[in-house]
Structure 1
Amino acid sequence: MPSNVEIKAALRDMRYLTQRAKELSGTDGTVIRQQDTFFKVPAGRLKLRDFQDGTGQLIFYERPDTEGPKLSNYSITPTNDPQGLVKVLTDALGQVGQVKKERRLYMVGQTRVHVDSVEGLGDFMELEVVMEEHQSREEGVTIANQLMLELGVKEEDLIDGAYMDLLLKNQQNAHAP
């Protein structure tokens, strides 16, 4: 199963981080609009990513919900009918919820740098060090930590969990007495 080492952080200064990502990648990045629908599963996470252009990906992944670098194992398959697949999976499994975001993707070496504006949450940065077969988790963590420093991301800005978790937590807090 493919794997990556991830870091996710809240952004204090989106402009600065975006500029650094441009410099490190040598590109202006690629804008991707996504709607992720999460489904109820007994273990891990299952989401259908709709790229809003008639294509999508069904993604299953497992990773710990901890701050800092974490290993994520995943499986991905493409689809040309994301809306139909959302309906079938919702009928079969039930939905946890949806995350809508605009993502700017920068490639820095083997790392995907995501600068995300998440509807209802705000701005975030996500690093995904795409692991090669021969690499250890420790090598991925080293790469992620180094890139985090180069991007000016502070340890206190790191977050755990997925955007879906943060949205659900916000909903629970809004309904708390």
Structure 2
Amino acid sequence: MFLLDWLFGRRHGKPDAAPAPARSLKEADGCAPGTSIRYSADLVEHLVRDHHAMLECFAAIGKAARGARFGEAALLLERFRADLHGHLLVENVRLYVYLEHTLADDPASHALMREFRHDMDEIGKKVVAFLARYARLGEDPALAASFVADLDAVGAALADRIRREEDVLYPLYAPVA
């Protein structure tokens, strides 16, 4: 439950603490309009750390594959898959939903954010298909022949996406005025 609580901005109190009183309208400031999703000053930093960890894992996958250590590459692929799914969940709920609501009155920024979200959906489908295709990499030697080339293509798409997110999308994330 902690992950869901963190995703939705809830904080844990003492187990026997009395429930918090209902918030007034003024106290609700800081939430994206129409949601209970609050701005989080460390969200972008968290997402960037995720990016670095995923890129390191991806590099390790490539190194293992190029060394014909496909069992190791398969284990790293599973770790990458789990990390990616966790990252996308946080990004979809905490970033995109927040931006969807806070940028509603800024048509240009809202359109840019929606374009990023649509693009990520497309890239996500390709990466998930890649991960599904090579899930048995350590067990099926026939998969090894195409793996490195496919890995390089996915890696290039992900690296480009990460760069664009960090340079263009993440700066749109700001506290509600």
Q: In which range does the TM-score fall when normalised by the shorter chain?
A: under 0.3
Instruction: State the TM-score, normalized to the length of structure 1.
Output: 0.25
Select the structure that is richer in helix.
2
Select the structure that is richer in strand.
1
Instruction: State the TM-score, normalized to the length of structure 2.
Output: 0.25
